[in-house]
Chain A
Amino acid sequence: MDERIADAVRVLPYYLSQHVLLSACALVLAVVLGLPLAVLAVRHPRLRWPLLTAAALIQTIPGLALLALFYPLLLGLSALVAPLVGGSLPALGFLPSVLALTLYAVLPILRNAVAGLSGVNADVIEAANAVGMTRRQRLLRIEAPLAAPVAMAGIRTAAVWTIGGATLSTVVGQTSLGNYIFSGLQTENWLFVLFGCAAAAALALVTDQLLGLVEVGATRRNRRHLLAGLAGLAVGIAAALMPLLWGPARGYVIGAKNFSEQFILAELIAERLEREGATAQLREGLGSAVIFRALASGDIDVYVDYSGTLWTNVMGRHDAPPREAMLRDLSRWLGEHHHVEVLGALGFENAYVLAMRRERASELGVTTIAELARHAPQLSFGSDLEFLSRPEWSALRRAYALDFRFERSYSPTFMYRALAAGDVDVISAFSSDGRIAAQDLLVLEDPRHAIPAYDALILISPRRSADPVLRRALAPLIGAIAVERMREANFMVDRSTNPVAPGEAARFLAGLPGPKPAGPGPP
């Protein structure tokens, strides 16, 4: 328990500074965008409705979806402008996060500023005209100060939303306090989830109070309140950003998808790089589709993917050739089409498999997917969040004419719980998952080879392909991880009693001293 708090506190300065930097930039941009739009909307009543409606529409898009949409948008934009600027826009991390959060924050700022400006007394406006003010003078000297308290209230609202919404940017590879929440959710480290929520809430609360001081200053025309609030904000932002000055240099960027094995392997790669004297940072929780493109475009330098996933998702192939032929074709194709290098296989496979509780399977007399297909209409199916939209699922359905009573998606942790609780009868599991042994699940055979091999491969981005440090650091990992050890490492993180952080499991994999795998682990 204490160790996990210490873990959380150790990364707090870095997470917090990233979170503050992101939120502050988004809020400033939203103010810079929102206030002039409000002036425009008030001066041209015809623009008012379209502007407010557009801002409100953006608000109706769920925050997570808006962030996700910016990834393909920036990729497309990057392809357009690349020939012009001679480089590419980063489609992951800070840029999409700050853009999405900015759009999100515009509505409260725009709406309140419009309300504030429209609320200025008509007699005061007439007097401003009559004493000989130009439109600009009237705006700056009369309308803006009189609208300031209402506009400031909108900025406060936007600040709280932005700080809350910034936790979602973890998904597109931007470090934030959301890293606690997403990795905690994945590894059932509820303390981490709670810590992340509390940190974000505290940050929002402090910011709101400081902006409140500015608002009071603006309302009562009290310069002391105004300056105190602004000074507090400036000092807070500066203090929060301090760790960035001597924080980890960018170094190598290691990608990870959103499950424990990926977290562990990313930590393992980081550990290897650090042992070679290099610095590394992790981009965790990336989606399967996003992560390969992030590698190909150089947003991340290295990550571990699985041959079958690349074969079907990236190459778009539906056949399942023998392992060696597949690996050969895949390596050649990735090099030719994306300049991505397959450094080598780690030595274990993490295939998609279908799994059932053993007693339920014997009750039905099912050992293969072909036998399962006969009972499927009476059975329910649980999958992780992406399996149902993956080609492997269509391949399975085609090969076996699978048709379940219903299908449901869960985050992996909850998927295993749902199976244990009997909410679903069959799940899509990972063959390297420690929970298969721990929960005594039966992995169904695939006699028609509908699902290809899933060897874990280290992939290297085009711009790092000639990097000697990276090669030297990662060479010892090739062929070095047997599936049993990977399962043990996975289970150390995923077990519900006494789980460890992915970094600890990585140390175990690397053969470094650390906690022994304990508890009802796999054999």
Chain B
Amino acid sequence: MSAAALIEIDNVSKSFDGGRSFAVREASVAVRAGAFVAMVGASGSGKTTTLKTINRLIEPDRGEVRIEGMSVAEIAGPMLRRRIGYVFQGIGLFPHLRISENIGITPQLLGWPPAAIAERTREVLALVGLSAAYLARFPDALSGGERQRVAVARAIAARPRIVLMDEPFGQLDPVTRDAIGSAYRALHDQLGLTTIMVTHDVQEAVLLADQIVVMAAGRVAAHDTPRALMASRADPDVSALMAMPRRQAERVRAVLSDAGNSDG
């Protein structure tokens, strides 16, 4: 695709069993700066594996990932990951560290001065909608939604340009999930981030993302805007998946109008 892409996943393949089967097969995705990309697909379709090749939590067998034209293989893994935010379903707050220490960890690893870390910690905590009273608490004193907000704050604390998310809101109840999803989308726009989010929830993808990558059996089956994918009839797998939000919306509308009729 265009040379202006910020992240280029170029022909990446990955096998976990020595080549008998491939979790990802010759996948290529280009993401321009500022985009919000959702990766959807069935379980085992290779979404998470593809995502993790970007910050080298997984090394591809073939192909390469480039950020601003530079291969990530040339950057030491820990150094690379300090520049890329990462939020995942497991949340993974450090239980023995206070919220302030959890959020400030990457700036600290990068050698920021303590005063700058403290200021930035307060700032990002406010960005994710939590009060400064949380700073001194330990993770086990927080609710699930609050913990995931802290995880988002930790991911953006060192001012990364790129944030990777792996089923980030999967463990949350639907109301919290919707609220945090919308709040994050606003943050994405406000901070000018580039976000790639893996999700199995197509509706969430349609509502939050500018572009959707559909993966099936380790391959990229489609990559387009939500609107275009929902209208497309080209690939039966893709159209079945993308038809789901529309069908769900129609069913909800039907329920609502039924209720209206019986009331009237």
A and B, one complex?
yes
Query: A515 CB to closest chain B CB, in angstroms?
Result: 65
With contact pairs A122-B90, A123-B91, A124-B94 given, residues A129 and B106 touching in the complex (Cβ less than 8 Å): no
Within 8 A of B (CB), among A119-174: 121-134, 137, 142, 145-146
B88 touches A130 (CB 8 A): yes
With a cutoff of 8 Å between Cβ atoms, the chain B residues found around residue A132 in the complex are: 78-83, 106, 109-110
B96 touches A131 (CB 8 A): no
With contact pairs A131-B86, A132-B79, A133-B78 given, residues A126 and B109 touching in the complex (Cβ less than 8 Å): no
A123 touches B96 (CB 8 A): no
Distance A81 CA – B95 CA, assembled complex (angstroms): 50
With a cutoff of 8 Å between Cβ atoms, the chain A residues found around residue B151 in the complex are: 127
B92 touches A123 (CB 8 A): yes
**Which listed residue, A129, A131, A137, A146, touches B154 by the CB 8 Å rule?**
A131
With contact pairs A122-B90, A123-B90, A137-B109 given, residues A129 and B95 touching in the complex (Cβ less than 8 Å): no
A449 within 8 A of B: no
Closest to B101 in A: A141
Closest to B83 in A: A132
Distance A127 CA – B93 CA, assembled complex (angstroms): 7
Inter-chain contact total with CB atoms closer than 8 Å: 62
Distance A142 CA – B94 CA, assembled complex (angstroms): 7
Within 8 A of A (CB), among B72-120: 77-83, 86, 88, 90-96, 105-106, 109-110
With a cutoff of 8 Å between Cβ atoms, the chain A residues found around residue B57 in the complex are: 126, 129-130
The count of chain A contact residues (Cβ–Cβ below 8 Å) is 19
A397 within 8 A of B: no
Query: B99 CB to closest chain A CB, in angstroms?
Result: 14
Q: Mark B131-169, 1 if CB is under 8 A from A, else 0.
A: 000000000000000000001001000000000000000
Interface SS of chain B: mixed
With contact pairs A126-B88, A131-B109, A132-B106 given, residues A145 and B96 touching in the complex (Cβ less than 8 Å): yes
A131 touches B82 (CB 8 A): yes
A360 within 8 A of B: no
Distance A134 CA – B77 CA, assembled complex (angstroms): 8
Can you give 29 contacting A-B residue pairs, CB < 8 Å?
Answer: A121-B95, A123-B92, A124-B93, A125-B92, A126-B88, A127-B88, A127-B90, A127-B92, A127-B93, A127-B94, A127-B151, A129-B57, A129-B81, A130-B55, A130-B88, A130-B92, A131-B81, A131-B82, A131-B109, A131-B154, A132-B106, A132-B110, A133-B78, A133-B109, A134-B78, A137-B109, A142-B94, A142-B96, A146-B95
